[in-house]
Every structure is written in structure tokens, then in C-alpha cells.
Amino acid sequence: MSGGSFNYLYSKESMWQILDEGSLKDLVEMIEFLKHYKESFLKDISKLLNDYYNDVINAKNMILLNNISIDNIYDLGDEFQDVISFIFRVENKQESLYDIMYEVEWWVSCDHSIDDVKRAFEEYKNKT
């Protein structure tokens, strides 16, 4: 198998694309896949991605509960500043996870090695 093990989940450019049901399913599959390995860093990545998944769901719920249209989310007034700030944090988290998700995807498809995944995770930890 070459590439696309999780439908190129890493290439989603924003949280809005992750909110697509197919992408959420792919994210859950990646989380579940990593959970079953004995290597502790893979379990750590699974937990990290699970936290990201929860943040995406929480952002979606905040949007729905506040009856906010995503078309004008960044033009909202001060009363929605907490929602906007949270969404920015989720978007930043997604960006910071790009290399990890990329390497996991390509490792699972046998195009990269587990060492590439570990390197991406170590680089992530050093940045955060």
C-alpha cells in the first residue's frame, strides 16, 4: 500500500476540513491504530491526537451552541472572543501536528519508517 492510509488526513488545511465526517472518522482510525502499539511514543501520539479530536468536537459544539455561522466566525463581536480564541488554538494545534500526522500516514502505508514518526514526535515535543 502506498500513501493515503488515512485519506491524507495530514493534508487538511483547517479544522473546518477535519470537521467533515469522513475526516473525523479518519482521525479516530489513526488514534485507534496507534493505541495498539507497544512503543510508548506511539501511545503518546495517540493521546495527543485524541486531545486534538476532543478540541475539534468542543469547537464544533461551541459553534452550534452559540448558533454561529462559520462563514463569519472571525468577524464576531467581543461576546464571542472566547469561542474565537479557542478556535485559533485548535487551528494552531492542527498546524503543529502536521509533521506527526504526515509521518504516521506514510509509515502506515509503508513509505516511511517508524523512526520517521519518532523523529517528528521528538521535534514536536521540542517545539512545545
Residues 6+ apart with CB under 8 A from 46: 31, 32, 34, 35
Cα 117 to Cα 44: distance, rounded to the nearest angstrom: 12
Residue 36 has a pLDDT of 92
C-alpha distances (whole Å) from 109 to each of 64, 66, 103, 121, 124 are 36, 40, 10, 18, 22
- Average pLDDT for runs of 10 along the chain of length 128: 78 87 92 94 97 94 84 76 89 95 95 97 94
Count CB-CB contacts under 10 A for residue 44.
14
What does pTM read for this prediction?
Answer: 0.89
